[in-house]
Amino acid sequence: MSFTQFFESLSHEINDSRAGRRAGIEGIKAHIQEIRGNVEDFLDTFRSKHKQMARVLKHEAKDLRRKLGGDDKARVKAAHEMMGEIRTRIGGIFSATHGMLRDLADDLHRGGEIFRGNSAASFPKESRKKKRA
């Protein structure tokens, strides 16, 4: 093998190696472009689905707020009516208790008078003072 043939063969090997590497790099670039396209499609789909979900959730939240606002008004009205009923019942309990206590005090007073002999049916009251003779 001559010196020129050696360098010619070496030059062909280098060119073939470079062409192989270039083909490998082009394959890698094509694969990267394919992955990039898949990722972009996935992200676009993901983003659009989540935007749609966010719109739906916002709409549902507005409906719930509106419904809660109406429910709150009804709840407040019902609570106000219930408080009125409770106040009325408590007022009735206070008056009944006051009446019972007044009746008990009157009965106690009358019972004490009877016990001490101060009732109309009892004997005349004796004086505690000593009579002077």
| CB contact at 8 A, 110 and 119 | yes
pLDDT of residue 120: 52
For 122, phi then psi, to 5°, come to -85, 175
pLDDT tens-digit readout, 36-89? 999 999 989 988 988 898 899 899 888 888 877 777 778 888 888 999 998 888
pTM beyond 0.85: the answer is no
CA 93 to chain centre: 37
